[in-house]
Structure 1
Amino acid sequence: MSKVSVDNTISMVLDKRRKKKNGKYPVKLRVFTSTPRKQKLYPTRFEFSEEEFSSIWETVRPRSTYKQTRKMLQAIEQNAWSVANELEPFDFELFEKKLFRKRRDGTNVSYLYGERIKELRSMDKINTANNYGLALKSFARFSESEKKKIEELSLFEVNTNWLNRYEHYMVEQGKSLTTVSIYIRTLKTIFNKAIEEKEIESGYFPFGKGKYIVPKVSNKKKALTKEQLKQLFEARPKSPQEEKAKDFWFFSFACNGINIKDILLLKNKDMDDDKITFYRAKTISTSKGNLKKITVYLNEFAKEIIHKYRSKSLAPNDLVFSVLEGEENPVKQHTKIKNFTRFINQHIRKICEEHDLPIISTYWARHSFATTVIRKGGSMEFVQESLGHSSMNTTKAYFAGFDDNTKKDFADQIMNFG
């Protein structure tokens, strides 16, 4: 029996709960913790009779014919002991993750991305999981350009020089620094997780001062001016598809910049006579301890859109709009939301092209709402609450600044002391 700590033990045991047809019992690796009091048995490839197990494992000096078998059992126990001793505090889930993988998987880039993608999908974070998949494919293409398979790439090789070469490669391929930043940030997360799980020392972390700096790209402000909003609102769609796209774009704008996913997940029970209340789907899994319910008061336009497109069922748990069925698995739901968002974007762009407006997307509705509120005198705190942001810095990024007319009006009024 090998001690992991005062409270935890690891040992090889004969599991005598059920005898096999050959009269033998399976040998299990037993891990026990006293706080909390918990035991788990892990299978091995060995099976013995009680007499064999006693002669091989429980005796101090096994016969020469059993010595090799005893060494193999000791190796299993010692490996488990080594893994467990890395964990402080001990955690069964992490112990199993480390125990049942290849020795080098803990720092293998391809393996770690695969595990992260599975983890994200299990939490229904399909879009984020897809981003990790795209990042890994990008790193794979770069590795191939350097005559190395991505399956062989280790975190130890991803140093400052490697990251600089990757950035240069991406720029030469015509990719934007924004794309580079998105992909490398996933790698930064992979490193942090590996350090947290003691797979790699923090000294190998290749980011930060004096090392590789992830490109910071200022986002283009995605907000329409008051005049542009008026022009788009008054534009006459040329097809039912353009009409529907325009309706949902302005519904998003009118309802605190609510994003399309949250629109499609609205349930009848979220509706009141003059308001809707909901939690952002994006924050449900990331801010469980600080969930903020968003309340949107409905103007006449928003009420008209609901009446126009509302599904027939008014059951409390049924969806307001029938784009989703409400029973899809996360992957299918993600695909449907993405397709509907693409539908809006395609047709709203046709209207914009027809009226010489900026080429916009659904995301512009959210930014335009934030900017319009502030330009009309609303506070940044009001916008933060309306958008459901936990950080004021996030809210500030949505504000496109004051337009020239606002600045001119302010200059004209600054000396008016009346």
Structure 2
Amino acid sequence: MATVSWVVFKHHKKSDGTYNPKIRISHNRTSSYISTPIYTDMVRFKKKSASGTITLEKIKEELDDIVKEYRHIINDNQEIIQECETSKDIVLMIERRKKRKDIDFIEFARQHIQMTPNAGTRTVKTTGINALCHFLKYKNGNDKLSIKDLTSKLLREYEGWLRKERLITVRQNRTAKQEYRTIRKPALNDTGVHSYMGVIQSVFNAALLHFNDYEKGDIIITNDPFKVYTIPPVLEAKKRAVDVDIIRKIYNYSPINKRKRTTTFTRDIYILSFLLAGMNAIDMLDCQMVNGRIEYERQKTKDRRKDKAFISVCIHPLALPIIEKYRDPSGNCLFDFYKRYSNIRNLTKGIHRGMRSLCEEIGIDYIQFYSARHSFATIARNECDISKDDISLCLNHSAGKTITDTYIKRDFSRIDKVISKVADYVFGESLSSTSSINNDL
């Protein structure tokens, strides 16, 4: 049976003449000690005694209150106490329960995000937590949130805030001084709310695994708002694929102003993405050319797949001039994009600006860079009659795998045939003077 008491040791005397009383936990003939926030010189020691007595009644009452608190924790967790072999185990259990009062959800979220290996996931989660912080500042004047205060009621209030047009204050990154500006954010629909709430739920689930010991039944975080609050379902995504004529217009784009390097750069990597079976811009930063093929691990899913989302894609003749144009002369990377943009965030911003300028110059409504990937898949299926399995291979998707798939070695040459057939369909005239890859499907 565990016992709790307070004690003051003579040898714990500080240089200023005060003593720090300790809480003693005894269990199975072992003793451990927990420091208190109390320091006092009102202590009397009997002759030859190692421990003393507090002479001020007020301090005695404070220590007795701490003892009562710890006894209450022990009494409420008898099943866990029975699993504790030593007093040290009980001390750890008490400290974990005391910590619950001080778990700051935002602080934990920041630490959790830093440990997330995927850069894209880190960006998404950072955006989601930043949005929650803006709401907390709007509601409470600060961005602190105790995890016990993360309730279904708070989430419903947050959802209502996200669904309204709102003003937020952000820091300017372009200046050395910490300057701020106010921006207007549009109201979110179900899909937007789903994304933001999904980030909170993901971080909250990580907190449950971090603080709770489910094997021992040592539960620190007892609340779960997502058992009451339901995240809105995702709306059916608007198809991002564009018509073949638009792909051709982008391919044939010639800059009106040669100084618009960002627009030309965006056109080039858009076509490159299309010709590489919908390759994402982030993957172009870290791909390699091996035996005349582009090889990479897809950043978005490599941490969730046993094969690291590896893919090998042929270089179509129309893609080769673009590759050579942006090839890194130092050989550090395949492309010199890292010299143009310091990180993926800046690359994404540059592509966004370039796409707006490109669409304006060729006279079409704005389309996203990601439409190259969607368009490749749509044209392959609807115009070239490619099977969904082969399109899935091209897009490096893992969904729908069966036991049989684990026995079959992936044949990346199937991707080459799909690329060849799609390129022939879209850029047939441009290929008249180049040799094409065998497209016999």
- TM-score by length of structure 1 reads 0.63
Are 1:192 and 2:200 counterparts? Answer: no
Pairing 1:59-78 to 2, within 5 Å after superposition? none
Instruction: Report the AA paired with residue 372 of structure 1.
Output: I
Cα separation, 2, equivalents of 1:294 and 1:30: 60
Q: Aligned residue for 1:115? A: 108
Are 1:293 and 2:310 counterparts? Answer: yes
Cα separation, 2, equivalents of 1:290 and 1:255: 20
Q: Aligned residue for 1:412? A: none
Instruction: Report the AA paired with residue 352 of structure 2.
Output: N
Candidates 243, 252, 257, aligned match of 2:264: 243
Cα separation, 1, equivalents of 2:349 and 2:192: 20
Instruction: Report the AA paired with residue 249 of structure 1.
Output: Y
Cα separation, 1, equivalents of 2:347 and 2:313: 22
Q: Aligned residue for 1:361? A: 368
Q: Aligned residue for 1:143? A: 139
Against the structure 1 CA distance between its residues 203 and 363, is the aligned structure 2 distance closer, same or farther, given a 3 Å change threshold?
closer
Cα separation, 1, equivalents of 2:394 and 2:248: 22
Pairing 1:160-239 to 2, within 5 Å after superposition? 162-173=154-165, 174-177=186-189, 178-196=191-209, 197=212, 198=219, 199-202=221-224, 205-207=227-229, 212-238=230-256, 239=258
Candidates 350, 354, 359, aligned match of 1:347: 354
Candidates 93, 104, 115, aligned match of 2:101: 104
> CA offsets, 1:24-58, max 9 Å, x none?
xx999999xxxxxxxx99988899xxx99x944xx
Contiguous gaps of at least 5 residues in structure 1: 4-9, 13-19, 32-39, 57-61, 327-332, 394-418
Pairing 1:46-85 to 2, within 5 Å after superposition? 55-56=50-51
Instruction: Report the AA paired with residue 121 of structure 1.
Output: Q
Q: CA deviation at 1:229?
A: 0.9
Q: Is the 8 A contact 2:23 2:36 kept in 1?
A: yes
Q: CA deviation at 1:136?
A: 1.4
Cα separation, 2, equivalents of 1:128 and 1:385: 26
Are 1:374 and 2:381 counterparts? Answer: yes
Cα separation, 1, equivalents of 2:81 and 2:308: 31
SS at 1:350 equivalent: helix
Instruction: Report the AA paired with residue 228 of structure 2.
Output: P
Cα separation, 1, equivalents of 2:77 and 2:324: 60
Q: Aligned residue for 1:397? A: none
Instruction: Report the AA paired with residue 134 of structure 1.
Output: N
Q: CA deviation at 1:130?
A: 1.9
Q: Aligned residue for 2:300? A: 282
Instruction: Report the AA paired with residue 136 of structure 2.
Output: A
Cα separation, 2, equivalents of 1:382 and 1:30: 68
Against the structure 1 CA distance between its residues 357 and 102, is the aligned structure 2 distance closer, same or farther, given a 3 Å change threshold?
same
Are 1:257 and 2:278 counterparts? Answer: yes
Cα separation, 2, equivalents of 1:235 and 1:97: 68
Against the structure 1 CA distance between its residues 155 and 272, is the aligned structure 2 distance closer, same or farther, given a 3 Å change threshold?
same
Are 1:323 and 2:337 counterparts? Answer: yes
Q: CA deviation at 1:132?
A: 2.8
Against the structure 1 CA distance between its residues 204 and 132, is the aligned structure 2 distance closer, same or farther, given a 3 Å change threshold?
closer
Cα separation, 2, equivalents of 1:298 and 1:282: 22
Higher Cα Rg: structure 1 or 2? 2
Against the structure 1 CA distance between its residues 203 and 100, is the aligned structure 2 distance closer, same or farther, given a 3 Å change threshold?
closer
Q: CA deviation at 1:138?
A: 4.0
Cα separation, 2, equivalents of 1:304 and 1:364: 22
Against the structure 1 CA distance between its residues 100 and 374, is the aligned structure 2 distance closer, same or farther, given a 3 Å change threshold?
same
> CA offsets, 1:341-386, max 9 Å, x none?
2212212322212222231222222222222222222222223232
Q: CA deviation at 1:150?
A: 5.1
Against the structure 1 CA distance between its residues 138 and 205, is the aligned structure 2 distance closer, same or farther, given a 3 Å change threshold?
farther
- TM-score by length of structure 2 reads 0.60
